[in-house]
């Protein structure tokens, strides 16, 4: 019942609801177009043991001597690449400001996961490639600083990387839907507000004044009804 009452109000006040709904649709399209499309690239790098395991006489690579093995080394590399100083340097070199380097989801292999998001698909791709190279360079420099023998150096292997950036449109859709939904809701509320104000004015309108002709006619009708004998009196007689 209430639903159809609301529909009737909206139909009756179409000249209020219609333009407001149209304005909401325009705002929804504008919000969708205003939000920039983000492009995402991803990559995965695997840390590998030296090609020839060191024997007991070979000096130890400190990065191979961690209790967690290559998993600890991978964690060290991710922390270096996510450091503020490293991030500022990469951005200054033209890389995307939004990226993430973290441990991969696998618990059986020392994986480093790379994720980049940027409005420019070209910069998203170049940043991912740069981070892949940066992982190997950081690993090499850290091992050299620790005086690791060359034949004990940990290596990297690229497992996967995006062939092309993937467009992310979910944020654009959410923005357009939010603006459009809010606009339609406001259109309904304003329409009901106008309907309520019209009903209030109608109730507060003063009664129409009675003309002299109407008053005379009402008086004559009253006199005629007063002089008319009652049905009961007629039957008694």
135-191 pLDDT per residue, tens: 999 999 999 999 988 888 999 999 999 999 998 877 778 888 888 888 888 888 888
Q: Give the pLDDT confidence score for residue 58 in this predicted structure.
A: 62
Total residue length of the chain: 237
pLDDT in the model for residue 9: 81
- pTM of the entire predicted model: 0.64
Q: Which region among 5-9, 23-27, 107-111 has the lowest average model confidence (pLDDT)?
A: 5-9
pLDDT at residue number 19: 87
With residue 170 as reference, give the H or E element that holds it. helix 170-204
Task: Measure the CA–CA gap between 184 and 102, rounded to whole angstroms.
Answer: 43
Q: How far from the centroid of its chain's Cα atoms is residue 91's Cα?
A: 25
| 235: confidence class by pLDDT, cuts 50, 70, 90 | very low
**How does strand 155-161 pair with strand 166-168?**
unpaired
Q: How confident is the prediction for the chain on average, in pLDDT?
A: 83
pLDDT of residue 223: 52
Instruction: State mean pLDDT over 101-120.
Output: 91
Quick one: pLDDT at residue 69?
Answer: 84
Query: From CA 36, how far away is CA 53, in angstroms rounded?
Result: 50
Q: Per-residue pLDDT for 108 more than 70?
A: yes
pLDDT tens per residue across span 63-107 = 888 878 899 999 999 999 999 999 999 999 999 999 999 998 877
Residue 94 C-beta-side C-alpha neighbours within 13 Å: 7
Q: What is the mean pLDDT of residues 10-27?
A: 85
Distance CA 167, CA 119 (A): 9
pLDDT for residue 192 is more than 70: yes
Instruction: Answer whether residue 233 shows pLDDT above 50.
Output: no
CA 158 – CA 111 distance, rounded (Å): 10
Architecture of domain 36-170: 2-Layer Sandwich (3.30)
Domain spans of the chain, in order of start: 36-170
């Amino acid at each position: 019942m209430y639903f159809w009452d609301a529909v009737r109000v909206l139909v009756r006040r179409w000249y209020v609801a219609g333009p407001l709904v149209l304005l909401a649709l325009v705002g929804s399209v504008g919000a969708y177009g205003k939000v920039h499309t983000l492009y995402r690239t991803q990559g995965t790098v695997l840390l590998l043991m030296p090609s020839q395991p060191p024997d007991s006489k070979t000096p130890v690579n400190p990065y191979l001597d961690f209790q967690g093995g290559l998993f600890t080394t991978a964690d060290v590399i991710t922390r270096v690449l996510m450091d503020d100083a490293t991030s500022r340097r990469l951005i200054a070199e033209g890389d995307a400001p939004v990226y993430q380097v973290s441990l991969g989801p696998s618990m059986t292999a020392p994986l480093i996961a790379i994720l980049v998001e940027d409005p420019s698909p070209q910069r998203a791709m170049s940043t991912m490639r740069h981070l892949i190279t940066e992982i190997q360079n950081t690993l090499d420099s850290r091992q050299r600083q620790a005086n690791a023998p060359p034949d004990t150096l940990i290596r990297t292997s690229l497992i996967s990387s995006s062939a092309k950036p993937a467009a992310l449109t979910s944020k654009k859709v959410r923005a357009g839907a939010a603006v459009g939904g809010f606009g339609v809701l406001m259109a309904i509320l304003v329409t009901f507000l106008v309907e309520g104000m019209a009903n209030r004015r109608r109730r507060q309108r003063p009664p129409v004044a009675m003309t002299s002709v109407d008053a005379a006619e009402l008086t004559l009708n009253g006199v005629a009804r007063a002089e008319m004998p009652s049905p009961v009196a007629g039957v008694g007689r």
